[in-house]
Amino acid sequence: MRKINKKETFQIATKGDLVQIHKVILTPGQRAENLPESTKAVPYEAWVKGFLLDEKAKVGDTVRIETFIGRELYGTLAEVNPVYDHNFGKPRPELLRIGMEVKKQIEMKRGAKP
């Protein structure tokens, strides 16, 4: 599991806040047979988002949430107001010049009809 940093540990959520809960679905011993070693050694885990139903909770507490379709779930509070932080990555030198290279190759003239 991802290491929870100190700042997150002190995050407090109040009723109605968007939170993410964590659940261990299967411990390593309960998992399916015939798994690769690296998979067999770790638990099977899940994260789900929803609105906090408890009055107040901090990261690590067992809480109840209402999901986006109105179902009630239990789990350990993992994050408060979780952010989508996937991005466009860094500029990649392997990609940046491809367009210029091929344009030269087919000798596209400025204003040429498509």
Partner 1 sequence: MNRDISYSSVMSRKKEILKNSMGLDYQQFEISPIAFDYEGLMNSGGYSLSEVQKIQKETGVGNTPLVELKNITKLVRSISAPGKGGRIFVKDEKACPSGSFKDRRASLSVHHAARLGFKGVIAATSGNYGAAVASQAAKYGLKVIILQEVYDSRKVGQPEILEKTRACEAYGAEVWQLTVGPELFYIMLLLLEETGFFTASLYIPTAIMGIETLGYELAQQVKEREGRFPDMVVIAHAGGGNVTGTARGLQKAGSHETVVVGASVDLRGLHMASDHDFNRKSFTTAHSGFGFPFLTLPDRTDVPRNVARGLRYLDRYVMVSQGEVFYVTELLAKLEGLERGPAGNTSLAAAISLARELEQDQILVVQETEYTAAGKRPSSQLTFAEENKVEVRRGDPRENVPGKVIVVPERAEQIQVENVNLDKIRQSYVKNAVEAARGYKPTEEDVRFLAEDSKSSVEFVRKAIRELGTEV
Q: Catalog residues that contact partner 1 under the rule CB under 8 A.
A: 1-2, 25-26, 30-32, 35-36, 38-39, 41-50, 67-71, 84, 86-92, 94-95, 98-99, 101-103, 105-106, 108, 114
The contacts of residue 4 (CB under 8 Å, 6+ apart) are: 59, 60, 78
3-state secondary structure of 28: helix
Closer residue to partner 1 (CB): 40 or 56: 40
What is the C-alpha separation between 50 and 69, in angstroms, rounded?
A: 9
CB of 46 to partner 1, least distance (A): 5
CB of 67 to partner 1, least distance (A): 4
